[in-house]
């Protein structure tokens, strides 16, 4: 049985992407705040899971440690879920006015 590994986007593209995100967010796990000695230790995590939003946009990547990345899997972060909740339940302001 194989275990799904978090995306590291190996090679030059992955290193460059992690370095850019490290400058943007800091060289630490986005979820638990554990610092990395270098961005090479980090995994790339899709903030919005690919199962929900399948585009690889820079804005959707964060650095994460292995345990956080694997624990999060395809689950939406709570803050994002609360923002999307009105649309998911069909209770937008437009919906109330109609």
DSSP 95: H
Q: Does 31 bind Zn ion (CB under 5 A)?
A: yes
User: Which one among 21, 42, 63, 68 touches Zn ion, defined by CB under 5 A?
Assistant: 68
73 binds Zn ion (CB under 5 A): no
Find the shortest distance in angstroms from Cβ 69 to Zn ion: 8
Strand partners, 62: 45
Residue 74 or 94 with smaller CB distance to Zn ion: 74
Least gap, CB of 85 to Zn ion (angstroms): 25
Q: Are 28 and 36 in contact (CB under 8 A)?
A: yes
Residue with tokens 């899709």: 46
State how far the Cα of 72 lies from the Cα of 83, in Å rounded to an integer: 18
Options 29, 42, 63, 76; binder of Zn ion; rule CB under 5 A: 29
Q: Give the nearer residue to Zn ion in terms of CB position, either 32 or 83.
A: 32
**CA 86, CA 62: separation in Å to the nearest integer?**
25
In three-state secondary structure terms, 6 is coil
- Contacts with Zn ion by CB under 5 A lie at 29, 31-32, 65, 68
């Amino acid at each position: 049985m194989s275990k799904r590994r978090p995306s590291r986007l190996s090679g030059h593209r992955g290193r460059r992407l992690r370095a850019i995100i490290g400058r943007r967010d800091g060289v630490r796990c986005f979820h638990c705040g554990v610092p990395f000695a270098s961005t090479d230790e980090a995994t790339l995590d899709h903030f919005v899971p690919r199962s929900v939003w399948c585009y690889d946009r820079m804005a959707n990547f964060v650095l994460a440690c292995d345990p956080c990345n694997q624990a999060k899997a395809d689950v939406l972060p709570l803050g994002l879920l609360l923002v999307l909740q009105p649309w998911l339940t069909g209770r937008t302001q437009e919906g109330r006015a109609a």
